Amino acid sequence: MRVSCPELTARKGGEPIVCLTAYTAPMAQLLDPHVDLLMVGDSLGMVLYGFDSTLPVTMDMMIAHGAAVRRGSQHACIVIDLPFGSYQESAEQAYRNAVRMMQETGCSAVKMEGGRDLAPTVEFFVKRGIPVMGHVGLMPQSVNVQGGYRARGRATDEAAAVMADAIAISEAGAFAIVVEGVMEQLAEAITARVAAPTIGIGASAGCDGQVLVVDDMLGLFSSFRPRFVKRYAELGETVSEAAQAYAADVRSRRFPGPEHIFGSIKKSS
């Protein structure tokens, strides 16, 4: 049976919630036994598609990858990002897109970035049966307004704004809130203040859970090392070495060997 949104909410202040991103069925299958929550983030635009930001990601992309992750998992709660432009216009527009997302993927909940301005939409969703995960602090979909990918909450007024955003989203009914790229003390203060469990990324060990982009955690990007990422493997190097060995075998005709090909054609009687 899958972990439910209410079960995760009940973990507030208890056992930390384990979360990783997933974008494909094979990766979901590998991660599923070990995590509580699989997040199909719009980070897939940068990780899989090579975009410079998450802004070009579409509903069709999110639905295709979300459905794949759902098929590849059995245990984890599945949360899918609503992409940029799919929920900002109005609560009604957002609701239609969220309904489509849930119907076509079978996900457990949707995630939206935003604070006080988004709170009425969160409340609109929850009253109509759609669980929502919030996202405050550094919000990649708002990178052009926020002025880049920098940590939030260094100044007292900015910290107060992030806190107000988190409180508003929690009070609107979000079952959990991602807190991204904020100063440690601010993340801890938010966690202590709001009823919803907080999922930290570049925040604090004191959050109610943690999430990382799985490709970062596995070291698939050799040149990109965010400060907040702990690498548990260096698969980028392994993949490169394997490709090099394969290329050498092909060029020297060591591959395919006799054990990799089918036998001779038998003469018909």
The answer to whether 95 and 125 are in contact (CB under 8 A) is yes
CA distances from 235 to 49, 85, 146, 188, 246 (A): 19, 34, 33, 32, 16
Please tell me which residue in 180, 188, 237, 259 is annotated as part of the active site. 180
- CB burial readout 211-232, b (16+ within 10 A) else e: bbbbbbbbbbbeeeeeeebeee
Active site residue 180: yes
Q: What is the 3-state secondary structure (H, E, C) of the chain?
A: CCCCHHHHHCCCCCCCEEEEECCCHHHHHHHHHHCCEEEECCCHHHHCCCCCCCCCCCHHHHHHHHHHHHHCCCCCEEEEECCCCCCCCCHHHHHHHHHHHHHHHCCCEEECCECHHHHHHHHHHHHCCCCEEEEEECCHHHHHHHCCCCCECCCHHHHHHHHHHHHHHHHCCCCEEEEECECHHHHHHHHHHCCCCEEEECCCCCCCEEEECHHHHCCCCCCCCCCCCCCCCCHHHHHHHHHHHHHHHHHCCCCCCHHHCCCCCCCCC
Q: Is 264 annotated as a binding residue?
A: no
The answer to the question of whether 42 is labelled as a binding residue is yes
20 strand-pairing partners:
38, 212
Residue 230 annotated as lining a ligand binding site: no
111 is in an annotated binding site: yes
Q: Which residues carry a binding-site annotation for 3-methyl-2-oxobutanoate? A: 42-43, 81, 111
Catalytic residues: 180
